[in-house]
Every structure is written in C-alpha cells, then in structure tokens.
C-alpha cells in the first residue's frame, strides 16, 4: 500500500530526524520541482508536501510515496512518485470500467485513466506511478519521462487537431533503433527474442514460471494518433479468461494495484482489453524521450517479467490489492 507524506511542508531539504526513505523521496521530488519550474507553461504550487503543476489543460499533483513491495520484493518498501492529472474540462463521461478497458486505456498511450479505489473524486484521473529504483537512472534520465507526464499529461486527451502533440525526434528514434538492434537474444534467463526486424522486436518471457504466459512487443513504426512518433510497448498475457464480463473490472483493479504495490517497474501505461480479448498492458513513449533514455527498450523488457508475474499472481488471488 502507498504511504503518502501530505503532512509535510513542501519538498524542501528535509532534516536528518526524518526516516531515510522519506528523506530520499522528498529530495527526489524537490529535484523534479526544480526542473518543472523551468517550464514557462507550468505554474507550480507546493503545499503540505504535495506539488501541483498547473497548465492550461490540466492540473497535475505529484507526491512522494513509499510502496509496500509485491512478490519477490514483498519484504521491503520502495520509493516512488505518484502523479495524478485532473484534465480540464472534467471527463466524467469516462466513468465506466468497460469504456476504460476496451477503448480509452487501449489507446491513451501514456498513463492510465483510473478511478482510485480509496478516492472520493467525481471523475477518473490520468495516473502514473514512477518507482525510483526500477532501473531507470532517475538522477538524470528517468525523470524526463515524469516531467513530460506532469507537464503535458492531459494534452493528448483533449487534442482535437490532426497534428500530434509532440514533434518527431529523429535523434530519439535513431537511439531506439540502435538499442533494438543491439538487444541480446537472451537476457539472464529473463527473456528470449522471438523476432527482430528494424524498429520491431517480439520477446517471450523466459522465467521458469512465465514460459508461454506472456509476449512483449516493442515497436517504433506505429505512431500514436495524438502523441506522434515514438515507442509502443505491449505486454500481452496469453491466457483467455472465461469470465469476460469481469475483465473490465480486472483492468481497473490491475491499474490501481500498480499504484499501491511496488512490482519493480514504473506504472507508465495501462492495463486494458485488447481486440483479441486478452488482458494487455500498453504504453507509448514519445520519441523526444529517446534522446535522454536511449536504453528504454531494454529497460522496459527487463521490467516485463515482474509486471507479468505480479498480474498473474494478483488474478490468481495470491496477492491482495
């Protein structure tokens, strides 16, 4: 479960009397506040340890949290920064699990439209949860993705023009093409490449309990209709479920669960129901991020086993929400 720090007075340099995990979370959020403050389109407000980042289209709230671990990480607690975006105008019409699972979260790209289980808000929110020890180098690189989400989190939801929200970055795509070309066929018993062509790789998870249970695609040749060019990440669970009427609720449950428990990889996409009826996790990262996260294809693959295993265990009833 996530433990927030709403009672503190902003992400200032904390004193040494606070717990070590709280010190680290607040320091990281303080750094991100500094980066966001350099954007003239973003207005910042800091109250009670929570940071507000306001733009013309959305209100984003960032707060440091310490997540209880799940699975092999169950013994510890893990730092994260949760971001919730309230789009303007309010999207109350998305308050349907089936709409979210079969339409909105299938194509939203970055983040998940969720109704937090313990939240009394009037409408679902666009949510992401960034684990600070998930393999991304947060001191310099990983925070770029968090800043993008906080500053432009609702722009692609409200865009009604034919032009993508983000400009194409040829340099970023070139970095990712290179990273895909250099992926090893096997990675420490975690995954095995099934297919590799320019800009597209298909991976089977190879952990002993995941054989034939999930498949991962990373594609650079399928632009997002609103985000533009970038990297499309898809993790599809292989099992078909007979209780199809419950799949939409399960998607909501899995998305919320990823903000409550640390599974070893950041929650930057959304669980949804794919066209073939399978439970699928999809994220789309704009190409401009490729310049600061050149190894993102490998990092996403390395986190796939943890996400697939956590989802399967949760659906089997072995892990509580």
Q: Give per-residue pLDDT as tens, 282-314.
A: 999 999 999 988 999 998 998 898 899 888 888
**Mean predicted confidence (pLDDT) in 89-101:** 71
Distance CA 244, CA 51 (A): 39
Averaged pLDDT, 73-94:
72
Determine the pLDDT at residue 121. Answer: 59
Average pLDDT, the chain: 80
Q: So what's the pLDDT on residue 285?
A: 94
Task: Please report which confidence band the pLDDT of residue 91 belongs to, taking 50, 70 and 90 as the band edges.
Answer: low
Distance CA 181, CA 19 (A): 43
Q: Which of 83-97, 207-221, 254-268, 276-290 has the lowest mean pLDDT?
A: 83-97
Only one residue has tokens 């947060």, namely: 138
pLDDT of amino acid 21: 59
Per-residue confidence at 11, pLDDT binned at 50, 70, 90? very low
| Phi and psi angles of residue 112, each rounded to the nearest 5 degrees, phi first | -130, 135
Model pTM score:
0.86
Residue 95 has pLDDT above 80, yes or no: no
- Provide the 8-state DSSP code for 103: I
Pairing state between β 186-187 and 2-4? unpaired
Q: Are 136 and 146 in contact (CB under 8 A)?
A: no
Residue 143 backbone zone (phi > 0: left; psi -120 to 50: alpha; other: beta): alpha
Give the per-residue pLDDT at 94. Answer: 63
CB neighbourhood size of 58 (10 A): 20
At 176, is the pLDDT very low, low, confident or very high (cuts 50, 70, 90)?
Answer: very high
Q: Is the pLDDT of residue 139 over 60?
A: no
Q: What is the pLDDT of residues 210-258, one digit of tens each?
A: 778 899 999 999 999 889 999 999 999 988 776 777 888 889 989 988 8
What pLDDT, on the 0 to 100 scale, is given for residue 148? 83
| pLDDT value at 60 more than 80 | yes
Checking if the pLDDT of 9 tops 60, the result is no
**In the predicted structure, residue 3 carries a pLDDT above the cut 60:** no
Q: Write the DSSP assignment of 152-191 as a string of letters.
A: HTTHHHH--SSS-SS---HHHHHHHHHHHHT--SEETTTE
Between the ranges 68-77, 84-93, 141-150, 198-207, where is the mean pLDDT highest? 198-207
pLDDT of residue 141: 56
% residues pLDDT > 90 (the chain): 28
Q: Of residues 33 and 273, which shows the higher confidence score?
A: 273
pLDDT over 50 at 15, yes or no: no
What is residue 74's predicted lDDT score, i.e. its pLDDT? 65
Average pLDDT over residues 123-138: 75
């Amino acid at each position: 479960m996530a433990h927030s720090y709403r009672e503190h007075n902003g992400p200032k340099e904390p004193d040494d009397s606070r717990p070590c995990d709280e010190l680290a979370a607040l320091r990281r959020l303080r750094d991100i506040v500094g980066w966001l403050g350099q954007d003239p389109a973003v207005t910042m407000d800091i109250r009670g340890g929570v940071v507000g980042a306001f733009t013309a289209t959305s209100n984003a709230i960032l707060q440091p949290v310490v997540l209880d671990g799940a699975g092999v990480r169950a013994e510890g607690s893990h730092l994260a920064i949760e971001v919730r975006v309230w789009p303007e105008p309010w999207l109350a019409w998305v308050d349907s699990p089936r709409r979210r699972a079969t339409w909105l979260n299938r194509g939203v790209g970055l983040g998940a439209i969720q109704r937090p289980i313990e939240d009394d808000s009037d409408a679902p929110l666009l949510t992401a949860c960034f684990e600070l020890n998930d393999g991304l180098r947060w001191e310099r690189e990983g925070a770029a993705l968090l800043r993008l989400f906080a500053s432009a989190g609702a722009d692609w939801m409200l865009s009604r023009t034919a032009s993508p929200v983000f400009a194409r970055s040829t340099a970023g795509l070139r970095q990712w093409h290179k990273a895909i070309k250099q992926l090893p066929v096997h990675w420490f018993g975690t995954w095995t490449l099934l297919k590799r062509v320019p800009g597209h790789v298909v991976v089977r998870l190879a952990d002993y309990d995941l054989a034939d249970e999930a498949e991962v695609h990373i594609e650079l040749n399928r632009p997002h209709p609103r985000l533009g060019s970038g990297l499309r990440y898809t993790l599809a669970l292989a099992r078909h479920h007979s209780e199809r009427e419950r799949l939409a609720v399960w998607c909501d449950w899995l998305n919320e669960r990823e903000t409550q428990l640390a599974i070893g990889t950041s929650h930057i996409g959304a669980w949804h129901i794919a066209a073939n009826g399978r439970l699928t996790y999809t994220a789309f990262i704009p190409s401009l991020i490729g310049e600061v996260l050149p190894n993102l294809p490998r990092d996403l693959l390395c986190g796939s086993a943890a996400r697939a295993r956590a989802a399967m265990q949760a659906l089997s009833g072995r892990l509580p929400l």
